[in-house]
């Protein structure tokens, strides 16, 4: 009785939403039509580029995630057409729904960059910054965030918080010291694996990820926690210290996996012919890609136990963002600028820059450097 009434109510709400097809939202002066119920962050992702706020804890495939890290804070300059008042505080764009006529300021806001730099500082406060020995380096969201929005140097003069190392099973290494408490891994355990044996214990700045009495996380899908971890707190034990990600070559591959729920589509990280690591495929936001509307989680058998190329159908090279360190030196098509300097300078030859060597005596072969005793001076060339 109760449920049928509820569902009638819900369907009537859905009908109402269907009538209002799209709503307009303006982010950094770019207006876009989005479906009702979209969050500011997802609307910004539809625009793409610099307009998109960074997100460390939000994960579109994990229900309930977001709102915690505060890196995606944006300014709402006008709430909606109906109520154009600005919102008094910066809001977490990942958990704030757009309203029709909402005006959002991200990179055009005066308050946001400062608040965001503050959040980055807070996130890095107790982070060990052990990137040189961290397996996540090169694909770490905190590294990217630090470079994009952080300040150089730290104002923190105290000992950083550390945790004892804890063994959470054969496949996953927990480095609590690196954790930024995004809670993503607990959502994975809640929503993808059939039971959660780990969670957050304690509170405040001593809160930590832990398992019950160091119980091993033993589940077919536990490995996905590694993929969602934005930092190096959860790393792959079969890959640890084996290689740096930027030396490996990512290849898309698939296999027919028999584990129910496993999509069987993965990225193999090769060096030469050897598969060093298997991960789920990631999209441009660093999240696991969706296939046919379903997130492409992979099982532990695919991830940890299937490291022979013969067991996979290789599809080809993975597309990697031009800005990623993983893509360094892997692009051989160089695009030349269409305009020359001469054209830009309306026919004027760039003189000083090009001519400096032709007037310098260094380039004339009157005197050979090997004939000089001691360091060469300009005097030597004026002889």
Partner 1 sequence: MARKLLLEKAHVEGIRHYDVYRREGGYRSVEKALKMQPNDIVEEVKKSGLRGRGGAGFPTGMKWSFLAKPDGVPRYLVCNADESEPGTFKDRYLMEFIPHILIEGMIVSSYTLGSNTSYIYIRGEYDWITDILEQAIAEAKQNGWLGKNIQGSGFDCEMYVQRGAGAYICGEETALLESLEGKRGNPRIKPPFPAVKGLWGCPTVVNNVETLAAVVPIMNIGADEYAQIGIGKSTGTKLISACGNINKPGIYEIDMTISVEEFIYSDEYCGGIPNGKKLKACIPGGSSVPILPANLLLTTAKGEKRLMNYESLSDGGFASGSMMGSGGFIVLDEDQCIVRHTYSLARFYRHESCGQCSPCREGTGWMEKILLNIENGKGKISDIDLLWDIQRKIEGNTICPLGDAAAWPVAAAIRHFRDEFEWHVNNPEKCLTENFGLRHYADPVHVGV
Binding site for partner 1 (CB under 8 A): 1-2, 5-6, 9, 66-70, 73, 88-90, 92, 95, 97, 114-115, 118-119, 121-123, 125-126, 155-156, 158, 161, 180-181, 183, 199-200, 202-207
What CA–CA distance (Å, rounded) separates 288 from 246? 19
Residue 147 or 158 with smaller CB distance to partner 1: 158
Q: Report the nearest approach of partner 1 to the CB of residue 132 (Å).
A: 23
Under a CB-based contact definition with an 8 Å cutoff, are residues 106 and 51 in contact?
yes
Dihedral class, residue 241 (left if φ above 0, else alpha if ψ from -120 to 50, else beta): left
CB of 112 to partner 1, least distance (A): 10
* Shortest reach from residue 10's CB to partner 1, in Å: 10
Collapsed DSSP state (helix, strand, coil) of residue 363 = helix
Nearer to partner 1, 207 or 328 (CB): 207
Comparison of 190 and 274: residue with beta carbon closer to partner 1 = 190
The minimum distance between CB 2 and partner 1, in angstroms, equals: 5
How far is it, in rounded angstroms, from Cα 300 to Cα 257? 11
Residue number with CB closer to partner 1 (89 or 330):
89
Instruction: List the one residue out of 117, 83, 124 whose CA is nearest residue 103.
Output: 83
Short-list 93, 110, 120, CA closest to 27:
93
291 membership: H or E segment, kind and range: strand 290-291
Lookup: tokens for 103: 């005006």
Q: Indicate the residue among 154 and 363 with the shorter CB distance to partner 1.
A: 154
Tokens of 241: 């210290």
Spatial CA neighbour of 178 closest among 226, 144, 127: 127
The distance of closest approach from Cβ of residue 228 to partner 1 in the complex, given in angstroms and rounded to an integer, is: 17
Minimum separation from the CB atom of position 114 to partner 1 (A): 8
Least distance in Å: CB of 41 to partner 1? 13
Of 61, 92, 70, nearest to 227 by C-alpha is 61
Q: Which of residues 32 and 115 has its CB atom nearest to partner 1 in the complex?
A: 115
Q: Which of 64, 159, 257 is nearest to 266 (CA)?
A: 257
Please give the backbone phi and psi of residue 288, each rounded to the nearest 5 degrees, phi first.
-65, 130
Closer to partner 1 at the Cβ: 63 or 284? Answer: 63
CB nearer partner 1, residue 121 or residue 166: 121
Q: Position of tokens 């460390």?
A: 56
Task: Count CB atoms within 10 A of the CB of residue 167.
Answer: 12
- Minimum distance of partner 1 from residue 266's CB (angstroms): 32
Nearest to partner 1 of 97, 261 (CB atom): 97
Q: Hey, which residues does 173 pair with through a beta bridge?
A: 167, 235
Cβ pair 219, 193 in contact under 8 A: yes
Nearest by Cα to 246 from 320, 172, 297, 304? 320
């Amino acid at each position: 009785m109760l449920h049928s009434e509820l569902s009638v109510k819900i369907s009537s709400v859905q009908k109402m939403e269907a009538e209002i097809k799209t709503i307009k939202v303006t982010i950094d002066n770019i207006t876009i039509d989005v479906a009702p119920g979209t969050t500011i962050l997802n609307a910004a992702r539809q625009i793409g580029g610099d307009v998109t706020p960074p997100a460390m804890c939000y994960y579109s495939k994990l229900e309930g995630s977001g709102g915690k890290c505060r890196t995606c804070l944006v300014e709402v300059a006008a709430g909606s057409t109906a109520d154009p008042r600005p919102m008094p505080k910066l809001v977490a764009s990942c958990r704030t729904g757009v309203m029709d006529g909402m005006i959002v300021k991200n990179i055009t806001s005066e308050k946001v960059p400062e608040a965001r730099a503050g959040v980055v500082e807070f996130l890095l406060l107790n982070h060990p910054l052990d990137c040189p020995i961290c397996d996540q380096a090169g694909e770490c969201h905190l590294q990217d965030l630090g470079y994009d929005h952080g300040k150089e140097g730290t104002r923190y003069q105290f000992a950083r918080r550390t945790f004892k190392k804890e063994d959470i099973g054969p496949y996953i290494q927990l480095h609590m010291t690196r954790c930024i408490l995004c809670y993503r891994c607990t959502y994975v355990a809640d929503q993808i694996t059939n039971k959660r044996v780990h969670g957050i214990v304690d509170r405040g700045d001593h809160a930590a990820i832990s398992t019950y009495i160091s119980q091993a996380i033993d589940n077919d899908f536990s490995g996905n926690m590694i993929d969602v971890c934005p930092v190096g707190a959860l790393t792959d034990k079969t890959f640890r210290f084996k290689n740096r990600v930027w030396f490996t070559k990512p290849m898309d591959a698939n296999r027919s996996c028999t584990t129910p729920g496993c999509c069987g589509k993965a990225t193999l990280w090769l060096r030469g012919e050897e598969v060093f690591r298997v991960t789920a495929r990631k999209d441009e936001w660093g999240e696991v890609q969706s296939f046919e509307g379903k997130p492409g989680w992979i099982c532990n058998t695919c991830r940890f136990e299937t490291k022979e190329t013969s067991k996979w159908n290789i599809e080809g090279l993975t597309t990697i963002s031009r800005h990623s360190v993983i893509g360094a030196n892997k692009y051989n098509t160089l695009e030349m600028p269409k305009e020359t300097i001469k054209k830009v300078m309306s026919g004027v030859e760039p003189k000083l820059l090009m001519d400096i060597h032709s007037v310098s005596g260094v380039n004339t072969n009157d005197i050979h450097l090997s004939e000089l005793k001691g360091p060469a001076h300009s005097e030597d060339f004026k002889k």
